[in-house]
Amino acid sequence: MTLHFYKFHGTGNDFILIDNRDLKIKNINPEQIKYLCHRNFGIGADGLMLLNNHEDFDFEMEYYNSDGSGGAMCGNGGRCIVAFAKKLGIIQNSTKFIASDGSHEAFINELGEIKLKMIDVQEIQTKQNNLFINTGAPHHIEFNNNIAELNVFEKGKAIRNSIEYKDKGTNVNFVQIKGKGIEIRTYERGVENETLACGTGAVASAISYYIKYKSGSQNINVKTLGGDLQVSFIENENKYTNIYLTGSAEFVYQGTVEIEI
């Protein structure tokens, strides 16, 4: 089958997007996803998304990691699929869509940036000097004074596969304070490597910074290898609501690929 695809990225976190409103793809298996996301033999991406119709929302976001696994929310993917929906003419500058972790609202500002509302966060675990937060995807947060020198692949992989997280694994974020904001590097579960950015990781890291260092600001700049993101939220009695992830989402190119479905 000839499959028409679009390529987007959000601060370097790149995705294959497919308009599946006609249900051309009824089933896609992990091996097909791995092939399409492979950077040598396929198109190449950190993840793949199907944009599906939904009777109660503007659309449904069906997300898969590059290893073929699914089930978790992807913040940068969410911003990219909003930009994709606008490109397709489904929405204008605001939307409400459904993803694996529930409904999300999003807005496109005058700069073309996507402001995506994330799920509320209440359950935060302390693990020795580190934190664990689920922001739609699970995240281990570890602060470090020099993340530039870290071997993120080796250390992240070890934590992701540790006894503590062995059942389902976790994403791993290394965070360094920079001025009034933070800089992060992330090892992503499902990609099984460091990525240039991680949206749910940026949210988890910003909240962790607020908790651990008593930051007075609830609007935090997060620097990633792929660019800057902004995280804002409201904290009330250790519950975090009105969480927004804001940043660019860029269309790269479109094309066709042959695949057996």
Taking residue 20's Cβ as centre, other Cβ atoms within 10 Å add up to 19
Please give the structure tokens belonging to residue 158: 């070890």
Concatenated DSSP letters of 138-174:
EEEEEE-S-GGG--HHHHHHHHHTSGGGTTT--EEEE
Q: Is 37 in the active site?
A: no
Please give the structure tokens belonging to residue 32: 């097909």
For 144-179, strand residue ranges (E) read 171-178
Q: Is 74 in the active site?
A: yes
Q: Which of 131, 137, 198, 249 is catalytic?
A: 198
Main-chain dihedrals φ then ψ at residue 172, nearest 5 degrees: -125, 125
The label of the residue with tokens 């997007």 reads 17
The label of the residue with tokens 């920079």 reads 178
Cβ neighbours of residue 104 closer than 8 Å, sequence gap 6 or more: 61, 78, 96, 97, 98, 116, 117, 118, 119
Shortest CA distance to 249 belongs to which of 20, 91, 4, 75? 75
Shortest CA distance to 95 belongs to which of 121, 120, 60, 71? 60
Task: Tell me which amino acid residue 161 is.
Answer: N
Q: Which of 51, 74, 159, 182 is catalytic?
A: 74
Q: Which residues are catalytic?
A: 74, 198
